[in-house]
């Protein structure tokens, strides 16, 4: 899923981080004006498995968001629930 919003990238990132809780890890990427939010959980092996990645890119007129899903099972948050959270934060 991709969408654009007029909201500032920092505001969208803060909203998502607050709403998604401990499963979300916010990473400032080396590329200018980009943040990635990684959502997942630790596996029995100790490895951290990501279920969703949300890429935020600052643009002159707001923020571009891209939501990607991996094949990792993540019962705490369905794709529909995450999409609703992303859209809600994009409106802020």
pLDDT over 80 at 9, yes or no:
yes
The CA distances from residue 53 to 26, 39, 56, 60, 61, in Å, are: 10, 6, 10, 23, 23
pLDDT over 80 at 92, yes or no:
no
CATH number at residue 15: 3.30.310
Q: Tally the domains of the chain.
A: 1
**Per-residue pLDDT tens for 38-85?**
998 877 888 888 889 999 999 999 999 999 998 887 877 888 888 898
pLDDT band at 21 (very low <50, low <70, confident <90, very high): confident
Reading the block at residue 76, the tokens are 């705490």
What is the reported pLDDT for 7? 92
What is the extent of the structural domain holding 48?
Answer: 2-90
């Amino acid at each position: 899923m991709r969408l654009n919003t007029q909201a500032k990238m920092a505001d969208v990132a803060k909203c998502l981080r607050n709403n998604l809780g401990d499963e979300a890890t916010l990473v400032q990427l080396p590329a200018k004006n980009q943040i990635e939010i990684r959502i997942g959980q630790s596996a029995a092996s100790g490895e951290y498995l990501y279920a969703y990645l949300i890429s935020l890119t600052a643009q002159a007129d707001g923020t571009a968001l891209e939501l990607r899903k991996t094949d990792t099972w993540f019962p705490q948050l369905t794709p529909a629930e995450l999409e609703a959270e992303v859209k809600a934060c994009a409106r802020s």
